[in-house]
Amino acid sequence: MLNTPTPELLNQLKQIVGPSGVVDQPQDIAPYLVDHRKLYRGATSLVLRPESTEQVSQILKLCHAHHIGVVPVGGNTSYCGGATPSSAGNEIVVSLSRLKRIRHIDPDNYTLTVEAGCVLAEVQQAAEAADRLFPLSLGSEGSCQIGGNLSTNAGGTAVLRYGMARDLVLGLEVVLPDGRVLDDLNALRKNNTGYDLRDLFIGAEGTLGIITAATLKLYPLPRTRVTALVAVDDPAAAVALLSFLRSSGSDALSTFELMPRIAIELVCRHIAGINDPFDDTHPWYVLIEASTAQLTDHLTEELSEVLVRSQQNQLVREVLLAQSSSQREFFWRIRETIPEAQTRAGGSIKHDVSVSISDLPKFIEEGTALCKGIAPEGVMVIYGHLGDGSLHFNINTPDAGAHPEFFAKKTALNNAVHELAMRYRGSISAEHGIGQLKRDELVEFKNPVAMQLMHTIKQALDPHGIMNPGKVLAGD
């Protein structure tokens, strides 16, 4: 059972961070009370902004002793309400935004040690300044923070080549719920010394402690990038194209993103400066990128040769190769502004599912039929990371009106899509996490033994349940 902090305790907490780390005026607290998608509205009387791991440790120690709930927040870009406090108002919020030092870069070891509050784009820039690549890349990289990326095991658009956030971490520094600091900031690729504690905290969404710093893996900086926008008949053709590209020696492939015609129409209609780059209209599109550390023309020649062959075999309808960096950026903008265009077009019910790549075409077909059966008025906007088997299976309102009758079907639509994903042994959250949005569904869709193990771990590390209460797991 959690307590409400007394005025004395609030004062003690404020003293830990000093005046510059205290946010306690309603107008300053307001941005922390609502999530990025405006699905949740929480309450709190105090946001703390510690500037050192030691301060985070003191905060958690005090909250542990007094059974006070703590909600960690990074860039507040969660899609699942993962960083929004409950409406009860008895939790405190801990923002990591002042823990933002680049602690160490070791170009020969290809590693970078950063604090949790570094914005993802700053991490990428720090790597680039040392002629290295930190490959995690997502639409919100200008505002999301690396601590949040790791806590939610973020995915994004380069997973095909470099993996999820989890795959990009060597060591972590974590403040445990009782205030102890786990300093496991190793920079080793090989370290077989018992249980992998690091992987416990990645993807735990702040329910097992607060990640305060991480040692990240770097890669050679690409000097040649080839980007293509390709039109295809259907998702099956896209899957076949991906297989063909990979078996034709394109191990340089880093991005393979599927987009339907409606997504192109939405971005053309709602995003300034975007127009359809093709003369003809096509049912589906794929954004493809390959890159190499070499400065070479070979990659462009190879990729265009494979794409021309694919066109001759009728695997693709039309190919546009980016001829300049501004055209490359334009192709990327089309893909990355789909969520914004979707929001401008109206409300939406979103799913973030994954199945085997080979099952995606059938999944899209069956899922579309199911959703159309439930909500014929809904507009299917299905797009995403086909190269990783991960899709944003979204359904929009027909226009910007309120459409309460459409939103009344939310549970039915969620169940239909998630049950279908389960039939394909897929996941109900490919890359956005659980937060509070999918907490109750997780119980239905995750293996019961896995759920028991998660509760056992939570109970062992956080016996009072102070860390991010009500996220991922219902209260113990």
Binding stretches for ligand 2HG (CB under 6 A):
139, 338-339, 350, 384, 392, 394
CB of 339 to ligand 2HG, least distance (A): 3
> Largest alpha-carbon pair distance within the chain?
75
Distance of CA 209 to the CA centre of its chain: 19
CB of 271 to ligand 2HG, least distance (A): 13
CB of 244 to ligand 2HG, least distance (A): 24
Of 110 and 406, the one with the shorter C-beta distance to ligand 2HG is 406
Of 335 and 471, the one with the shorter C-beta distance to ligand 2HG is 335
Q: State the DSSP string of 31-67.
A: GGGB-TTS--B---S-EE--SSHHHHHHHHHHHHHHT
Of 144 and 242, the one with the shorter C-beta distance to ligand 2HG is 144
Of 91 and 388, the one with the shorter C-beta distance to ligand 2HG is 388
CA atoms within 13 A on the CB side of 250: 29
Question: Cα Rg for the chain, rounded, in angstroms?
Answer: 23
DSSP state of 89: -
Of 207 and 394, the one with the shorter C-beta distance to ligand 2HG is 394
Q: How far apart are CA 372 and CA 410, in angstroms?
A: 13
Q: How far apart are CA 453 and CA 161, in angstroms?
A: 31
CB of 30 to ligand 2HG, least distance (A): 24
Q: Which residues contact 94 (CB under 8 A, 6 or more apart)?
A: 47, 48, 49, 50, 56, 59, 70, 71, 72, 73, 210
* Main-chain dihedrals φ then ψ at residue 127, nearest 5 degrees: -65, -45
Under 8 Å between Cβ of 98 and 51: yes
CB of 382 to ligand 2HG, least distance (A): 10
Beta bridge partners of 380: 395
CB of 248 to ligand 2HG, least distance (A): 26
Please give the single-letter amino acid code of residue 131.
D
Query: Is the dihedral angle over the CA atoms 121, 124, 126, 131 positive or is it negative?
Result: negative
Closest alpha carbon to 235 in 261, 206, 210, 205:
261
Of 53 and 348, the one with the shorter C-beta distance to ligand 2HG is 348
Instruction: Give the 3-state secondary structure of residue 228.
Output: strand
Of 85 and 387, the one with the shorter C-beta distance to ligand 2HG is 387
CB of 74 to ligand 2HG, least distance (A): 16
Instruction: Give the 3-state secondary structure of residue 96.
Output: coil
Of 157 and 215, the one with the shorter C-beta distance to ligand 2HG is 157
* Main-chain dihedrals φ then ψ at residue 23, nearest 5 degrees: -120, 110
CB of 374 to ligand 2HG, least distance (A): 19
Of 46 and 338, the one with the shorter C-beta distance to ligand 2HG is 338
CB of 202 to ligand 2HG, least distance (A): 18
Which tokens go with 136?
């995690």
Query: Is the dihedral angle over the CA atoms 431, 432, 435, 440 positive or is it negative?
Result: negative
Of 139 and 347, the one with the shorter C-beta distance to ligand 2HG is 139
Q: Distances in Å between the alpha carbon of 205 and those of 93, 209, 261, 434, 471?
A: 14, 9, 34, 8, 8
Q: State the DSSP string of 173-185.
A: EEE-TTS-EEEE-
Q: State the DSSP string of 420-469.
A: HHHHTT-BSBSSS--TTTSHHHHHHHS-HHHHHHHHHHHHHH-TT--BST
Residue nearest to ligand 2HG (CB): 339
Of 255 and 300, the one with the shorter C-beta distance to ligand 2HG is 255
CB of 381 to ligand 2HG, least distance (A): 8
Of 137 and 215, the one with the shorter C-beta distance to ligand 2HG is 137
CB of 401 to ligand 2HG, least distance (A): 20
Q: How far apart are CA 472 and CA 437, in angstroms?
A: 9
Q: Which residues contact 159 (CB under 8 A, 6 or more apart)?
A: 385, 387, 388, 390, 431
CB of 383 to ligand 2HG, least distance (A): 8
